[in-house]
Structure 1
Amino acid sequence: MANPLQFLQQVRSEVGKITWPARREVMLTTGMVFVMAALTALFFSLVDWIIRFGVSQIIG
Structure 2
Amino acid sequence: MARKPNPQAMRERAAKTAAVMATPGGAVAAPKKTGFIEGLRNLPKFAMEVRAEARKITWTSRKETWITSVMVAIMVVMAAFFFFVVNWLLNTGITWILKIATAG
> TM-score, normalization: structure 1?
0.89
Deviation at 1:39, TM superposition (A): 0.3
3-state secondary structure, aligned to 1:20: coil
Q: 2:84 matched to which residue of 1? A: 45
Number of equivalent positions:
60
Q: 1:5 matched to which residue of 2? A: 44
- Is 1:22 the counterpart of 2:67 in the alignment? no
Give, as a single letter, the amino acid of the residue that structure 1 aligns with 2:61: A
> TM-score, normalization: structure 2?
0.53
Structure 1 residues not aligned, in runs of 5+: none
User: 2 CA distance for matches of 1:52 and 1:7?
Assistant: 61
User: 2 CA distance for matches of 1:59 and 1:6?
Assistant: 73
Q: CA RMSD in A?
A: 1.5
